[in-house]
Amino acid sequence: MTTPEVDLLRRRALLAAAVALAPLPLLAQDRAWPARPIKIIVGYGPGGNADLRARQIALHLAPLLGQAVIVENKPGAGGNIGTDFVAKAAPDGYTIGIGSFAPLAVNKALFPKLPFDPLTDIVPVVATDSGPLVLCVPAKSAFNSVADVVQGARAKPGKLTFASGGIGGSHHLSGELLKQTAGIDMIHVPYKGGSAAVSDLLGGNVDMMFEQMYAALPNIRSGKVKPLGISSRKRSALLPDVPTFGEQGLPEVVVTNWQGVIAPKGTPAEIVNRLNIALNKVIAAPEFRKVVTEQANEVIGGTPADFTTLIRTESQKWSEVVRQGNIKP
């Protein structure tokens, strides 16, 4: 269910988890930080994946740090508003944020005047989790495989439609990656959020949609949509009968919607390291892992350097997809 970069992070995280399970003597001995509550900024609205993860982190992080951890939503512009708020916050360890796929790896290529540079204006603290997407079609669709979609698109260039929750998100770019890899032409139909896109998918108003797996599962299990392919390298235990794109002849179609914790540029290395140790302990906790896996995601963990590598690698990949697709906001 992962890219090689995420696999590497996960292996390194085993060591980090062992360290994280140990006590945190530095946090206990030096009470200069944190001396007041900490904010986690989320660049999306309440109830979404990033918001749920932030609240789960806050719940487990607060007792480790001995201070309240407050989640604050600042949605808008594909995650840019919240990420920019973190980038411009005081680098004192009291404002951190959820950094995710689009604002960290896509939007620099997508938006001509991004107010922050994700590669220089933020400090990656730790990657928390990732999950694949599933290509779904309406239950009554004639398509029963990815090959059917490719053949249909070649038979009718520019006629098939794929929905997304907005330009530049993982829904959209997964479809663009499929188009470019298979050499087909389809129409992207962006909506103001994933819920509206799914509603039209269920109604048969669009031909298909790449949906995050945790969100797609209820409709798949109820038979309202048909899953044709999963964007991971391996099949998911939650959908064992759904083949990967690699199994269907398109190994380049690998997408994971990942996220992690970030801090403003200039945050002292000691604070970043303390946060990393505490957050790895949160990630290693069975109750945290249970919630993540039940949402069809996988935990990551690791060092700040590991998260930095993931962001840079993914930024290179998706910048090329944006360029080739001539995608504009």
Task: Look at residues 248, 277, 298 and tell me which one is the last residue of a structural domain.
Answer: 248
pLDDT classification of 59: cutoffs 50, 70, 90: very high
* Residue percentage of the chain with pLDDT more than 70: 91
Based on the domain organization, do 140 and 240 belong to the same domain?
A: yes
Note the pLDDT of residue 48.
Answer: 84
The answer to whether residues 235 and 244 touch, using CB atoms and an 8 Å cutoff, is yes
279-324 pLDDT tens trace: 999 999 999 999 999 888 999 999 999 999 999 999 999 999 999 9
CATH code of 77's domain: 3.40.190.150
CATH code of 136's domain: 3.40.190.10
pLDDT classification of 10: cutoffs 50, 70, 90: low
170-217 pLDDT tens trace: 999 999 999 999 999 999 999 988 889 999 999 999 999 999 998 999
Q: Looking at this protein, which amino acid is placed at residue 21?
A: L
Note the pLDDT of residue 182.
Answer: 98
pLDDT-wise least confident of 8-17, 52-61, 157-166, 231-240: 8-17
Based on the domain organization, do 226 and 261 belong to the same domain?
A: no
Based on the domain organization, do 163 and 195 belong to the same domain?
A: yes
Based on the domain organization, do 127 and 268 belong to the same domain?
A: yes
Residue 254, pLDDT above cutoff 90: yes
* Residue 183: Cβ within 10 Å count: 9
Residue 6, pLDDT above cutoff 90: no
Based on the domain organization, do 166 and 190 belong to the same domain?
A: yes
Note the pLDDT of residue 77.
Answer: 87
Based on the domain organization, do 10 and 116 belong to the same domain?
A: yes
Q: Which residues contact 194 (CB under 8 A, 6 or more apart)?
A: 164, 165, 171, 211, 212, 215
* DSSP H or E run through 298: strand 298-299
> What domain range is 67 assigned to?
4-131+255-325
Among residues 96, 100, 103, the alpha carbon closest in space to that of 78 is found at 103
Note the pLDDT of residue 263.
Answer: 98
Residue in the structure block whose two tokens are 């840019």? 80
18-34 pLDDT tens trace: 444 444 444 443 458 99
Note the pLDDT of residue 31.
Answer: 55
Based on the domain organization, do 107 and 35 belong to the same domain?
A: yes
Q: How far apart are CA 259 and CA 12, in angstroms?
A: 17
Based on the domain organization, do 269 and 311 belong to the same domain?
A: yes
Structure tokens at 216: 């797609």
Task: Look at residues 222, 248, 274 and tell me which one is the last residue of a structural domain.
Answer: 248
Q: How far apart are CA 122 and CA 168, in angstroms?
A: 20
Q: How far apart are CA 45 and CA 7, in angstroms?
A: 29
Based on the domain organization, do 105 and 242 belong to the same domain?
A: no
Residue 154, pLDDT above cutoff 60: yes
Task: Look at residues 189, 221, 248 and tell me which one is the last residue of a structural domain.
Answer: 248
Instruction: For residue 276, count CB atoms less than 10 angstroms from its CB and return exposed for 0-12, middle for 13-18, buried for 19 or more.
Output: buried
Based on the domain organization, do 206 and 318 belong to the same domain?
A: no
Based on the domain organization, do 193 and 86 belong to the same domain?
A: no
Number of folded domains that form the chain: 2
Note the pLDDT of residue 27.
Answer: 41
3-state DSSP assignment of residue 40: strand
Based on the domain organization, do 205 and 229 belong to the same domain?
A: yes
Provide the mean pLDDT of the chain. 91
90-139 pLDDT tens trace: 999 999 999 999 999 999 999 988 999 999 999 999 999 999 999 999 99
Q: How far apart are CA 329 and CA 327, in angstroms?
A: 7
